[in-house]
Amino acid sequence: MDEVQRLAAGAVGHVLNGRSLDAELRAVSGRPTLTAQDRGALQDISYGTLRFLGQLDAILDRLLQRPPKDSRIRDLLRVALFQLVHTRAAPHAIVDHAVRACVLLSSPAAKGLVNAVLRNFLRQRESLIKEAQQTDVGRYSHPQWWIDKLREQDPEHAEAILENANRHPPLTLRVNARRGSVEAYLARLESEGLAARALGGSAVVLERPVPVERLPGFAQGDVSVQDASAQYAAPLLDVQPGSRVLDACAAPGGKTAHILEIVDADVVALDNDPARLERVQSNLTRLHLNAQVVCGDAALPAAWWDGVAYDRILADVPCSASGVVRRHPDIKWLRRPDDIARFAARQSEILDALWQPLAIDGKLLYVTCSVFREENHEQIERFLARHRDARHLTLPGPHTNAQQLAGRILPDEQHDGFFYALLQKA
């Protein structure tokens, strides 16, 4: 476990220096010395430390008289504190492993500091956790600018959004309608000893997450992993049989596949990243579906559009991903305040460009996984002001609350935060 702690500390440190957590874990988790159990622990500890980083730093600030000379030691303390606060591992074992990890970090002189800080925490555990709650960052484990922005833009829901962002995400599946029903798949899960329930549409949520290898029929294309909020896209796009459809920012292909699972259509899956397009094709192959996969920038249709108008366009645009923080806790520490304006500018560019190849009376579904207004409602308001031939349609289908009716899906126990706007070319 001391090696796992060392690697987790390194992953956290690299994230705080600007590297994505998934990229860092891919770089280290393939080491032959790590068992499957080690890799699972490495992922859980790295994700958990970043999920609760604000709280852990608030505690550390009360335990450390001055920052360690080696920043890696602070990362190691963060990792060990996460284990002590949020896991059931034996406290003495966590401390012992952390002390030994100092040697692996080539900092044996730090063993005394690490031991003293962690044992001091154990002596003052309850009071230190309570004190950490006194600051916004310590309470919500988000950057202060993020907290302030949500309070300004949505005071009614800000606290719930922040708290839900620190929950463990559920494992939600999308049943391939071409290969079976939700009811039949629930029965298959039950036969495998996996408790699950239907969420509506093609969505099924498991009571406890499991590796995809344990999901019956996954390799055969019977089911895919996709959050319940993301599963709104294909039905909302209202694709008709034989329609010409563009999925303009397609990778990794979940929404492309969902469209094809529910209707026979001529679908083009576009993305500007060749490596991510390989994932799109891989997902389509697994699901026994066909689409034309094209590499290109959605904002530059002249480079890839063949001149034939599209009846439907799905614009799942690049965004801050502030609505999926529970799945990617590194996002909240990687983002900077000026990133939101940069994403909004890129979204405007893509929207304007995609309006060109949309057919008259055609529909464009704008999608983000953001909770910030600049990327959502304000983006659509600006677009409608620029394009007098655009109509903002009421979203079709059932809705569980007024927020969803307005296109906004707030993060909750079963949903990531999403925004949808359906536009028609008049």
Give CA 331 to chain center in angstroms: 8
- Residue 249 is among the residues annotated as catalytic for this protein: no
Six token digits for residue 52: 């609760």
Handedness of CA 161, 165, 171, 176 (dihedral sign): positive
Residue 137 vs residues 55, 63, 142, 147: alpha-carbon distances, Å: 7, 17, 6, 8
Omega of the bond prior to 108 within 30 degrees of 0, cis? no
Handedness of CA 214, 220, 221, 223 (dihedral sign): negative
Write the burial class of residue 364 (CB in 10 Å: 0-12 exposed, 13-18 middle, 19+ buried).
buried
3-state secondary structure at position 424: strand
| Cα-only R_g, the chain | 23
* Type of residue numbered 271: D
H or E element, residue 190: helix 182-191
3-state secondary structure at position 4: helix
H or E element, residue 203: strand 203-206
* Type of residue numbered 391: R
Q: What's the CA gap between 284 and 363, in Å, rounded? A: 24
* Type of residue numbered 48: G
Six token digits for residue 155: 């005071």
Six token digits for residue 14: 């690299």
Q: Measured in Å, how far apart are the chain's first and last C-alpha atoms?
A: 62
Helices (H), 17-65: 21-28, 36-51, 53-63
In sequence order, the 6+-apart residues with CB closer than 8 A to the CB of 273 are: 251, 295
Six token digits for residue 380: 């659509």
Six token digits for residue 381: 């308001």
Residue 377 vs residues 347, 366, 390: alpha-carbon distances, Å: 12, 11, 15
Determine which one of 102, 249, 319, 369 is catalytic: 369
Residues taking part in catalysis: 369
